[in-house]
Amino acid sequence: MKNYQPNKDLLEILESQKIKIKNLKEEVKILQRKLDQQIAKEGMIKQ
């Protein structure tokens, strides 16, 4: 059985994709918070 050598380039691509996904998740959280605040403001104006 020969030693399996993972493709380093592929691993690097995967790592960078993971980082991108993590950053996107953070962005989504921030946008969600802004949206919630906006909705709350709109609700106050209507009352």
pLDDT in tens, 12-34: 999 999 999 999 999 999 999 99
Which of the pair, 37 or 7, is modelled with greater confidence?
Answer: 37
Quick check: 10 pLDDT over 80?
yes
Number of independent structural domains in the chain: 1
Residue 2 pLDDT > 90, yes or no? no
In a domain, 42, yes or no: yes
47's tokens: 């009352």
Would 30 be classed as within a structural domain? yes
Residue 31 lies in a domain: yes
37: domain range? 23-47
> Would you call 1 helix, strand, or coil by DSSP?
coil
**DSSP per residue over 1-47, as a string?**
-PPP---HHHHHHHHHHHHHHHHHHHHHHHHHHHHHHHHHHHHHHH-
| pLDDT number for residue 37 | 96
Asked if residue 2 is part of any domain, the answer here is no
Residue 10 lies in a domain: no
- Does residue 37 sit within a domain? yes
- What is d(CA 11, CA 6) in angstroms, rounded to the nearest whole number? 8
CA-to-CA dists, residue 27 to 9, 21, 30, angstroms: 27, 10, 5
